[in-house]
Chain A
């Protein structure tokens, strides 16, 4: 196959590209420049958009002996990912920009360009297992549960997955690092990237506020209706948040307060105790079936609602314009805008059945 390897400059994508080369594919490396001003985002070795990272990716490609280019996706990234991120916060929702970037940039804008140039697939360093059975992709959790990234890939369509390659899905991170050392890839000891690549200091709230400004409103006790404090905008909060809410007076029962819901129209933040945060039912729309097979009736699944954690057994059922999820065990911190991924149990690793966007909880 002709394979385009997306190379961030980190260890995972470098080893993924190396494995693609070793598998006999004709591999070309591409570093996606996502910031219009390289160097103004993350500095050092943490991000995916710095000049240093592009240089690291280039050196890794050199060592693998493959052609390498830096392609500018800064406009697409700004429009499709950063603007959407802000718009979602503005609506009181909690977006996942990494999912969005996979859906719209890596496996859309980049993949389209790749196919135009005659490539068969885009290869990345994600930790997820991908196989094909009767032309239907099967996306499974990584063998490394701690690193599993099937959650951020499950909202790719079957068509996108047919043109994808994840060579690391069957390996543990420690094995990948060891392999990088063995191959002499100098990125072997580069630290993992965390958080959101376009928020330099990890201060999501500061980033959102600096762009959306202030839209003052009130923080209200969900139980009593009492106004507890003022706030600068609902976009400064996330459902499930406990720290930094800005309410000084303790709750009557002395228990910590959590953000329960955000109402952007009235600029109201509702807070209350943890037990009011738990959720038993979730309504979702924008359903994607990564395997291409739609759900005909209710199914026993395990759902995941965050990139890390937030896992519970549930029954998922198709409804008009979406799915509903009845949780077998309540979970907390479920925010509208988040992705829900439903997995079905399988002997060779949990299989991603569907991904959808959370609209409402009960």
Chain B
């Protein structure tokens, strides 16, 4: 079964499954003071150090979370609240138009419930936030900015943002920057210190770790109000019993993903080129979205004119090809992609697209299988040759005459 949806989730690496299942058998709350507790704590702290080393952070900057969405929520809400508490003028939240909903909806929630002023940073046709855009948004009123959140790499079209440059601009005004690096880890070099951001969220299950684990890297000098209150774990920023097994599974996957990153990225780029060749051969009028060069190597986002993405997805699924419409889902309903709309596409194009994403188990055979069935799937989804069953009132009069 050709699985072309690795950006949604990718199979767990066997090494991560092994360490996770082994850890599930061990007793001991890492916060307990007895021997079992200390043993669990030791493993968590070793994992923390390893995680920090792989991502260019210090161990004390690693806050283990339940995943990317939690990290995004904690960073955006927590930093906003803390910054506003320090200075009530800081109410502006600057986020890019192509953020994942975990950031976008969180910022909208702050606007609707916490008196934040939401400023959406526009993107160019490739989906990238230009440094001038941020400069202009900060404008002559930097003191009113609570935080900036711009993703490192986009989950739908794979565009990579100049986060280092953006963070430098914000730093000039003392404004903290959060970046969602969920799709970047394991494919791009992610160096927390070098990026100069205040917070960075990542997720385990996009890199071969378990669902339900991740980390927020948070600089020591960045104040962040907790979302979850309780036992005071994780610097009192994220309470909740440390999930030893999933943390270990996550960090094992991270270690492998980072050490194999360069060869992996090269392999993904090779497969992506094959995939795009196959797609364009099967459907000559297909349009590849996102940047021509320099995007994530594992993501190919394609518009198929005259098609609805959800219909085409079903047609491919019936032929054993698994992919995604790439847009956020509410009750499984695919809406026009907000990312494509922000990039200037019209609603029709934003609805008629699919995301094919490659990962560590992808093969040449997956790609050629797509090429073999895509043409007929698109023809079916376009409904070519299907007599229209829709009627106009005037037609009905004709029918009876």
Which A residues are within 8 Å of any B CB, using their own CB? Answer: 28, 30-31, 33, 38-39, 50-51, 54-55, 58, 67, 69-72, 103-104, 107-109, 111-113, 115-118, 157, 159-160, 285-289, 294, 318, 321-322
Contacts and interface: CB of A to CB of B under 8 A. Distances in A.
B19 to A, nearest CB: 32
A115 B314 contact: no
Interface string B126-150: 0000000000000000000000000
From DSSP, what is the main secondary structure of chain A's interface residues? mixed
26 contacts: A30-B314, A33-B331, A39-B330, A51-B331, A54-B332, A69-B332, A70-B310, A70-B334, A72-B308, A72-B310, A103-B391, A108-B389, A108-B390, A112-B386, A112-B390, A113-B311, A116-B381, A116-B382, A116-B384, A117-B381, A118-B380, A157-B389, A157-B391, A159-B387, A321-B397, A322-B400
A300 to B, nearest CB: 20
A120 to B, nearest CB: 12
Nearest to A107: B389
B335 interface: yes
Interface string B357-401: 000000000000000000000001111101111110100110111
Contact of B333 (A38, A111, A118, A159): A38
Interface of B: 308, 310-311, 313-315, 317-318, 330-335, 351, 380-384, 386-391, 393, 396-397, 399-401
Given A116-B382, A117-B314, A287-B396, A108 B331 contact: no
B388 A112 contact: yes
Given A113-B311, A116-B380, A70 B333 contact: yes
Given A70-B332, A117-B311, 17 more contacts: A28-B318, A33-B331, A38-B333, A54-B333, A58-B332, A67-B317, A70-B310, A71-B310, A71-B333, A111-B389, A112-B386, A112-B389, A113-B311, A113-B381, A117-B380, A118-B380, A318-B400
Contact of A117 (B315, B388, B391, B399): B315
The 5 closest A-B pairs by CB, nearest first: A116-B383, A70-B332, A54-B331, A51-B331, A33-B333
A51 B391 CA distance: 30
A213 B396 CA distance: 32
Nearest to A156: B389
A294 B400 contact: yes
Given A38-B331, A116-B380, A286 B393 contact: yes
Contact of B335 (A50, A55, A72): A72
A147 to B, nearest CB: 26
A252 B332 CA distance: 59
B310 A115 contact: no
Contacts of A54: 331-333
A287 B396 CA distance: 7
Contact of A288 (B351, B381, B382, B399): B399
A285 to B, nearest CB: 7
Contacts of A118: 380
Given A67-B314, A72-B335, A38 B393 contact: no
A112 B383 contact: yes
A301 B381 CA distance: 42
A28 B396 CA distance: 31
A115 B332 contact: no
Contacts of B389: 107-108, 111-112, 157, 159-160
A38 B330 contact: yes
Given A117-B381, A159-B389, A160-B389, A72 B331 contact: no
Contacts of B310: 69-72
Given A28-B318, A117-B315, A157 B399 contact: yes
Contacts of A160: 389
Given A38-B331, A38-B333, A115-B383, A104 B400 contact: no
A31 B331 CA distance: 10
Contacts of B386: 112, 115-116
A113 B390 contact: no
B331 A287 contact: no
A28 B381 contact: no
B390 A104 contact: yes
A157 B401 CA distance: 15
Contact of A67 (B318, B393, B397, B399): B318
Given A104-B390, A112-B390, A28 B333 contact: no
B68 to A, nearest CB: 22
A79 to B, nearest CB: 11
A355 to B, nearest CB: 10
A359 to B, nearest CB: 12
A72 B391 contact: no
B208 to A, nearest CB: 27
A157 to B, nearest CB: 7
B382 to A, nearest CB: 7
Contacts of A318: 400
Contact of A28 (B308, B314, B351): B314
Contacts of A38: 330-331, 333
Contacts of A39: 330-331
Contacts of B318: 28, 67, 117
B239 to A, nearest CB: 30
B311 to A, nearest CB: 5
Nearest to B388: A112
A285 B397 contact: yes
Contacts of A113: 308, 311, 381, 383
